[in-house]
Structure 1
Amino acid sequence: MTAATTRNNRNTATTQDTATVKAAPVVTGIGVVAPNGLGTEEWWRATLAGEHGIRPVADYDTSGYPVSLIGRVTGFEAADHLPGRLLPQTDRVTRLALTAADWALADSGADLPALPEYGIGVVTSNATGGFEFTHREIRKLWTEGPERVSVYESFAWFYAVNTGQISIRNGLRGPSGVLVAEQAGGLDAIGHARRTLRRGGVLSLTGGVESAFDPWGLVSHLSSGRLSRARDPERAYLPFDTRACGHVPGEGGAILVLEDAEAAARRGAERIYGEIAGYAATFDPPPGSGRPPGLGRAARLALADASVTAEDVDVVFADAAALPALDDIEATVIEELFGPYGVPVTVPKTLTGRLAGGGPPLDVAAALLSIRDGVLPPTGHVERLVATHRLDLVRGEPRRTSVRTALVLARGYGGFNAAVVVRAPHPA
């Protein structure tokens, strides 16, 4: 695995690579672990039905916390999905990621041993690492002494551990890494995986999975100052609503199998969900600079990278911060690009909470399935739209429509912005 990749020093936009331009890479497999469904089809059915996975914390007393709701994955027993030897050395976040990766690979039908050994890599996003594991071991250090600390503490806590464990489990020795940019990192991982394929790779496992909800983990989410303090799960995360008061954090995400289009064709891939046609990333200017936020520039650059125009886009999967000032910025970006009510906008993450680096890959999965099924998932629970947000927000029920091109937007805490264009597979 290569050294972990960060974007903390990135101040310019990223668009097309310097490598030889190739056909857009294709997604051939999807693995989902989400608060409202385990497995891609279960999650997709729940999402279209408007079933949410936001619930009170059940593992400990939160009466002293200002928040009590999270998007929690339920019904997951790691021993049902992973060998016993992996359980002592992994945090919950890595167990979820390994399971999602297994499901994505099985969905793709890829025969890994038949592919070039150094042409298959892993690029994931993670913002938190193995919180529960490391806090348990640190407690042992304080109370029982260093001899009681697990030897696996050396890596189980690390934000690169998902990439490493997926790589080891599947024998993947190609270009790999991890992107750290909170929400935006989920799209950055996909963008970087695309870059590795353009430079000679044939397949990359990419996306993101997060989980940090032990007592200390919940405090880490609180530090952003952006969490909703509402107690009703159906009223806690309401982007673009007059009652917007912050987001609900969640766990889970999606792992995708991204392949070089020609390599996928050569092996006779069973299905192609769609193409990752465009990607761009920007960083917000410093406060007080007078310069506009970078989200709109990321969206325009991603469209240009995909060689599509705003008129080609059939749906926008919004970042949806659910804070009035940030929602205003995003609504303005969408209106400037597409015109008032010019494109359907949806926020399926209202049913799961914001999953940090796992959320945008889940939006990409939703975009791919929207293309497959000709349906847009609804935004949950939003009823009182802000009058100045002239958005065609998909609400209440799924919307049946032909989908060929989708734009996915993401913003990470600290000024990160990213955008990905997802396109229907080429007929050839």
Structure 2
Amino acid sequence: MTAHALLTDSPADPAGGRRDTVLVTGLDVRAANGSGTDAFWQSALEGRSGIGPITRFDASGYPSRLAGEIDAFDPAGLPGRLLPQTDRVTQLALTSASEALRDAGLDPAALPEYGVGVVTANSAGGFEFGQRELESLWAKGPRYVSAYQSFAWFYAVNTGQISIRHGLRGPSGVLVTGQAGGLDAVGHARRMLRKGTHAVLTGAMESALCPWGYVAELTGNRLSTADRPEEACLPFGERAAGQVVAEGGALLILESAASAGARGSTRDYGELAGYAACFDPPPGSGRPGGLVRAARAALVDAGVEPSAIGAVFAEGAAVPELDAQEAAAITEVFGAHAVPVTAITSLTGRPGAGASALDLAAALLAVRDGLIPPTADVGQMPASHRIDLVTGRPRLLAGDAALVLARGHGGFNSAVVVRRADRP
């Protein structure tokens, strides 16, 4: 895509008819404030944060010492042969994939051999695995570097290992678009379904909480240096001063309504109704960023007006300049204070591509239950933001649709519309 290009799907097929509805029939969440969909959702509704001091390594010498860690994760349920081959991020992804398939009641073996694909997003790959092997290389020599390093570090490894473990031989891929990746993955998965694939396992999972991975994050100069968890991540707040690195994400099962109905499934979390993505113009061009274009195109793709959106799940970068840009984009699309806005990253931290996947999961659950989870208490907001930020307690969702926004470093902008499914 060029800076002007917009990626979306027309709701109509080439013959002029409407394409089949795409449903989310399975879901699993791994987050710092709760692993498992129900645990995550309960924490989100209660406004409970998972941000705390880093325990996975000694961070006392680093300027940022807080993160969104997933506690008590045990990969023992995975085959023993996989453990020495895989990084923590892949172990999280494999566990989540199994739960998402179980949640959907989907047996890939019951579908055509090439009927189920995998599309994930990732920004970092297996950093912790790579660090261990670099330490072995430095301390012991090349003979002590694991042959599994050849793939365990790679950002496509989650897609590959999920595909192998579950025999998913349909179209597959991986996207690397920063925090926007979680939305871009599901957008690409929807495209696969419209080309005839029966089901796609999609979403994003991240984990790079090790010294090597953390140093990479620090180079961006956007991390919070707060020492108190409640002051660390304040999206849209006057005291916003940086992001908090985290691990986690969400994996989803996407199916066409026809395919889900054919296998007798009646379960769904909602419809993936609209998707769009675009690039920002080149720095210094003087042209506005692309988030407004992405949001409006997603609404058009879903066939809804802005007034139909009951909540916006914002990126919530917690960096003053980025927050101001996002608030201005929301105001331009909806009007000042015209739609409730929430930022899940205030509770979970920011797990790369997994952040937008978490936002998408929260939006689906909000549409299902008619409740908007609150942003953490960010204190006063700049008057210039002009958005209706949900804080303190959940708010009732007006209508049956929500918009999810995401941006990735380097100029990526993505937007997804979800709504309550209308199934016969």
Q: Determine if the TM-score, normalized by the shorter chain, exceeds 0.5.
A: yes
Counterpart residue type for residue 49 of structure 1 = E
SS at match of 1:121: strand
Match of 2:323 in 1: 327
Counterpart residue type for residue 224 of structure 2 = S
CA contact 2:314–2:341 (8 Å) conserved in 1: yes
Tell me, yes or no, if structure 1 residue 38 matches structure 2 residue 35: yes
Deviations along 1:339-379, whole A, 9 cap, x unmatched? 11111101122100111111111111111111111111000
Identity value in percent: 58
1:187 to 165, 183, 188: 183
Match of 2:307 in 1: 311
CA contact 1:36–1:351 (8 Å) conserved in 2: yes
Matches within 5 A, 1:126-137: 126-137=122-133
CA contact 1:182–1:412 (8 Å) conserved in 2: yes
Matches within 5 A, 1:404-415: 404-415=400-411
SS at match of 1:177: strand
Counterpart residue type for residue 137 of structure 1 = E
Counterpart residue type for residue 357 of structure 1 = A
Tell me, yes or no, if structure 1 residue 112 matches structure 2 residue 105: no
CA shift at 1:239, angstroms?
0.9
CA shift at 1:19, angstroms?
6.3
Tell me, yes or no, if structure 1 residue 220 matches structure 2 residue 213: no
Deviations along 1:56-91, whole A, 9 cap, x unmatched? 111332222110011000010111x21211111010
CA shift at 1:381, angstroms?
1.9
Question: How far apart, in 2, do the equivalents of 1:367 and 1:60 lie?
Answer: 33
CA shift at 1:134, angstroms?
0.9
Matches within 5 A, 1:54-133: 54-79=51-76, 81-133=77-129
Match of 1:382 in 2: 378
Match of 1:3 in 2: none
CA shift at 1:123, angstroms?
0.2
1:258 to 251, 254, 258: 254
Counterpart residue type for residue 49 of structure 2 = H
Match of 1:299 in 2: 295
- Could you tell me which runs of 5 or more consecutive residues in structure 2 were left unpaired when the two chains were aligned: none
Question: How far apart, in 1, do the equivalents of 2:273 and 2:369 lie?
Answer: 19
- Could you tell me which runs of 5 or more consecutive residues in structure 1 were left unpaired when the two chains were aligned: 1-6
CA contact 1:122–1:206 (8 Å) conserved in 2: yes
Match of 1:16 in 2: 9
Match of 1:196 in 2: 192
TM-score normalised by length of structure 1: 0.96
Counterpart residue type for residue 143 of structure 1 = A
TM-score normalised by length of structure 2: 0.97
Counterpart residue type for residue 25 of structure 1 = V
Question: How far apart, in 1, do the equivalents of 2:260 and 2:129 lie?
Answer: 38
CA contact 1:109–1:270 (8 Å) conserved in 2: no
Tell me, yes or no, if structure 1 residue 240 matches structure 2 residue 233: no
Stretch deviating more after TM superposition (18-27 or 210-219):
18-27
CA shift at 1:403, angstroms?
4.3
SS at match of 2:385: coil
SS at match of 2:6: coil
CA shift at 1:287, angstroms?
1.5
CA contact 2:187–2:275 (8 Å) conserved in 1: yes
SS at match of 1:118: coil
Deviations along 1:138-191, whole A, 9 cap, x unmatched? 221222122211111110000000000000000001010000011011110010
Deviation above 4 Å: which 4+ runs of structure 1? 17-21
Counterpart residue type for residue 315 of structure 1 = A
Question: How far apart, in 2, do the equivalents of 1:355 and 1:200 lie?
Answer: 32
Deviations along 1:371-405, whole A, 9 cap, x unmatched? 11111100012121111111111100011234411
In the alignment of these two chains, the number of paired residues is 420
Counterpart residue type for residue 69 of structure 2 = R
SS at match of 1:209: strand
Match of 1:165 in 2: 161
CA contact 1:108–1:270 (8 Å) conserved in 2: no
Deviations along 1:82-136, whole A, 9 cap, x unmatched? 1211111010000001111111101000121111111210000000000000111
Question: How far apart, in 2, do the equivalents of 1:31 and 1:52 lie?
Answer: 19
Question: How far apart, in 2, do the equivalents of 1:270 and 1:308 lie?
Answer: 25
Tell me, yes or no, if structure 1 residue 398 matches structure 2 residue 394: yes
2:226 to 230, 234, 238: 230
SS at match of 1:208: strand
CA contact 2:308–2:399 (8 Å) conserved in 1: no
Question: How far apart, in 2, do the equivalents of 1:301 and 1:175 lie?
Answer: 26
SS at match of 1:59: coil
Counterpart residue type for residue 136 of structure 1 = R
2:346 to 350, 369, 382: 350
Counterpart residue type for residue 35 of structure 1 = A
SS at match of 1:341: coil
Question: How far apart, in 1, do the equivalents of 2:173 and 2:265 lie?
Answer: 25
CA contact 1:370–1:403 (8 Å) conserved in 2: no
CA contact 2:56–2:209 (8 Å) conserved in 1: no
Question: How far apart, in 1, do the equivalents of 2:4 and 2:177 lie?
Answer: 13
SS at match of 1:354: coil
CA shift at 1:10, angstroms?
6.9
CA contact 1:19–1:199 (8 Å) conserved in 2: no
CA shift at 1:39, angstroms?
0.5
CA shift at 1:270, angstroms?
3.6
